Structure 1
Amino acid sequence: MGHDINPGDRIRELRRRRGMTQERLAEAAGLSLATVKKIEQGGSARMETFNAIARALGKTTLAFATPTAPTPGDEYQDASLAAIRAAINPPTGITGEPLLDLGADEPDLTMLGRAAQSVSAAYYADRYDEVARLAPSVIRSAHLHVRELDGRDRDRARHLRADVLGVAGRYLIQVRQHDLALTALRDSLRDALEIGDQPLAAAAISSQAWALMRQARFSEVESLCVRTADEIEPRMSRATPEQLSAWGWLLLRAGAAAARNNRPSESEEFHSMAASAAARLRGEVDTAEHLMFGKTTVRLKTIESKLITGHPDQALELSGEVPGDVGEQLKTGVNRHRIDRAKAHLQTGDPGAALEVLQELRQDAPEWLRYQQAAREIAEDILAAPKRMPNSEQREMADFLGVPL
């Protein structure tokens, strides 16, 4: 059965292969007929319900629980995340070795490189379901390559594994699985350090800071990023664009954490230091974290900090200085900035302008927007503002973001 079949379709096919009616499957699994019908029609179910059906069909549960990105507010996330959990954080046996079946395929670094690139491309195109399907097998394949190869080939395999674990970590942050993300990013950092790739290591630390920030661990983020930035601080006169961007992003993370921790002066200082690195670059530079860094990126993060520290009017004023045509390279950064703009409009008493920004984002980046907690909070505040019934545009946005009316 192909991996593009949803769980309900898989269960229906398995049931029919065994000549079972829905009534007979429900009885064998100890479930109601309505539950079986709902699942086969595409509905969600608890993991224990999938387990019962699997037992009745003589299959392992994950034979039909297709990996997908958990939707916001999804209370049945265990099945959708099981495959990527198994690849990133497998159980450990009595010998101390992880219990992970890597198969017996012959290593092929070219094929692994293409597969890693596919995961990265899916993530940066906001195709999160595709990341959920691809990442587990690519991570397992990377483990196999590192185990089987040696010398330079093993270093190349470690680099690819660090890269795909980094992408997986960033995807997991997007779907709010922060502890699992930190596990992936820790292992990405370990591989980067093993092969002496400083920009890749800095990228793993920067992403780690992002996950920690989502857990409100602001002091830890600031300390981590400042210490790392001190250790890798480049000589401005001879630094490469990669070194400048890695150092700059660590300072931007520190600045974001300081702003959220009510340390506006320190935040401004970090942003000023990042701006000094950006001033030496021609345009925006891609980083090992696949984030862009340059003058525009620093400006966007400065606006974010102004908003966080209670200056929405200044954030909107600075927003007018952001170039109108930043291109596809800065898409994610600009989209985050647009959410900041919506929040600033709301805080300055203009919910209509805030909703308009969200509607533009829904048009331009719908899959990405669905996973943004900040967007849901803005929609909740818009709905809470008027005393009258929400209008059709507000209701549509609430439905799209999963916000209760």
Structure 2
Amino acid sequence: MHHDTPSEFAPPEPTIGRRVAQLRKRRGFSQEQLAELAGLSVGVIQKIEQGGNARVETYHAIARVLRVRTVWFTSPENPEPAPTNHRNGVLLDIRAAINPPAGLSGRLFSADPTPPNLRMLESAVLTIAHDYQENRYDDVARTAPAVVRSAHAHVHVLSGEEQQQAVRLRADALQLTGRYLIQIREHDLAMVALRDALADAIQVGDQALAAAAIGQQGWALLRQARFDEVEDLCRTTAEAIEPRMSKATPEELSAWGYLLMRAAAAAARNNRQHEAAEMQNLAETAARRLRTERDAVGHMRFGPATAAINGMQNDLIADRPDVALRKSEAIDISGVTPNTKQRHELDKAKAQLLLGDDEAAETTLHGLRATAPAWLQQQRAARDIGEDLWAEANKKRTPSAKLRELADFLGVPL
């Protein structure tokens, strides 16, 4: 039954006094410092924070010091500057490239008068892959739509083997665009790109590229907590492409192991620990056959370290942070992709936090902020860790300037 009244379980809206106190602490001021900078008495600040009322001029003076609009104290908006419409402009271009309108003759791709050049198209796809791995997301967002449109044009005007090569490059460009969209949480749009990438890979008979597109779909679905679907999708695909170990190529082993990792991750998150362990063991079997990290189709990398990192994540999810941290220290991450290395560090921070080592967890996050700021800001898990660190610091002491900066950077709510 629908009720207009809020749920009894909904958290109460913070009072004006609580909001003032929270933001004062975030900015690193004591009550005395805020009072001095605002030209008020300490008693006025104490009265407000204890739930008392004040004139609007008083709130204005406090807001000026705390660098927010005066109305923030009585509205639920974020105190930080509002985002620009840059993201919407970027997504508009990507949507037009990967999901154009359709007419009676099919989808209406924009015309491209530029003569086809497969070598240049391949170079452009590789540039997107490199920018993605180096966390240059703005560059990916600017480049990907043009490359996808160019790939569509190549497929349209070419024929025979050249057209097949163009289809394969389009699949590659689409799955890279899908990965970027997952990173910025545009999951539904990512699924459009990945389904088309899969269709192209199937059309040219590229099983490894198809497996990469399916695995990326699994990642998008994982981010939406659709665990049953991920496990079923990746497990059944892995079963369909399972190679004969004695004759398997590195590409076949990588594709198979990668899908099993995704399935194991979904099972672990779905509290199916036995199934997760079985699939993780198979993934590690494939990794051991490779002996080292190998570049796989779809600009992925798979091997013993990548598989071990996935196993560490599963231990963390199963509430075994001590086991996860012990495993993490034994993993040689030198050969994994930058994205995998960053995820590994974030998992370490979570394990450190769960084991009560807040200082180590904060240090790990500071390290990630220094080396991969664009990536870190996209990680909901990082913000969750930041929230826990902030809450614990407020219980024990006034949060340090470094933690305040980190909380603001991660978007930790007040």
- Is 2:181 aligned against 1:172? yes
In the alignment, residue 246 of structure 2 is paired with which amino acid? S
Unaligned segments of structure 2, at least 5 residues: 1-80
Secondary structure of residue in 2 paired with 1:344: helix
- TM-score, normalized by length of structure 1? 0.79
Match of 2:291 among 249, 272, 282: 282
Which residue is 2:66 aligned to? none
TM-aligned CA deviation for residue 75 of structure 1 = 7.5
1:42-81 matched pairs, under 5 angstroms: 74=83, 76=85, 77-81=87-91
1:149-228 matched pairs, under 5 angstroms: 149-228=158-237
Unaligned segments of structure 1, at least 5 residues: 1-71
Larger RCO of the pair (alpha carbons < 8 Å, separation 6+): 2
Alpha-carbon distance in structure 1 between the residues aligned to 2:112 and 2:385 = 47
- Is 2:97 aligned against 1:90? no
TM-aligned CA deviation for residue 389 of structure 1 = 2.8
Instruction: Say if 2:109 and 2:152, in contact at 8 Å, map to a contact too.
Output: no
Which residue is 2:334 aligned to? 326
- Is 2:379 aligned against 1:372? yes
Which residue is 1:17 aligned to? none
Secondary structure of residue in 2 paired with 1:326: helix
CA offsets per residue over residues 331-380 of structure 1, 9 Å max, x none? Answer: 22121011111011111112111101001111222221121111111101
The 3 A distance-change label for structure 1 pair 281 and 119 is same
- Is 2:363 aligned against 1:356? yes
Higher Cα radius of gyration: 2
Which residue is 1:51 aligned to? none
Alpha-carbon distance in structure 2 between the residues aligned to 1:305 and 1:73 = 36
- TM-score, normalized by length of structure 2? 0.77
TM-aligned CA deviation for residue 261 of structure 1 = 0.3
- Is 2:146 aligned against 1:132? no
Alpha-carbon distance in structure 1 between the residues aligned to 2:385 and 2:146 = 37
Instruction: Say if 2:322 and 2:355, in contact at 8 Å, map to a contact too.
Output: yes
Which residue is 1:69 aligned to? none
In the alignment, residue 93 of structure 2 is paired with which amino acid? A
Which residue is 2:16 aligned to? none
**Aligned pairs, how many?**
331
Instruction: Say if 1:199 and 1:243, in contact at 8 Å, map to a contact too.
Output: yes
Which residue is 2:58 aligned to? none
In the alignment, residue 194 of structure 1 is paired with which amino acid? Q
Instruction: Give the RMSD, CA atoms, in angstroms.
Output: 1.6
Alpha-carbon distance in structure 1 between the residues aligned to 2:89 and 2:340 = 31
Alpha-carbon distance in structure 1 between the residues aligned to 2:200 and 2:109 = 18
Which residue is 1:342 aligned to? 349
Alpha-carbon distance in structure 2 between the residues aligned to 1:216 and 1:361 = 25
Secondary structure of residue in 1 paired with 2:337: helix
Alpha-carbon distance in structure 2 between the residues aligned to 1:125 and 1:87 = 23
Which residue is 2:402 aligned to? 393
Identify which range, 99-108 or 202-211, moves more after superposition: 99-108
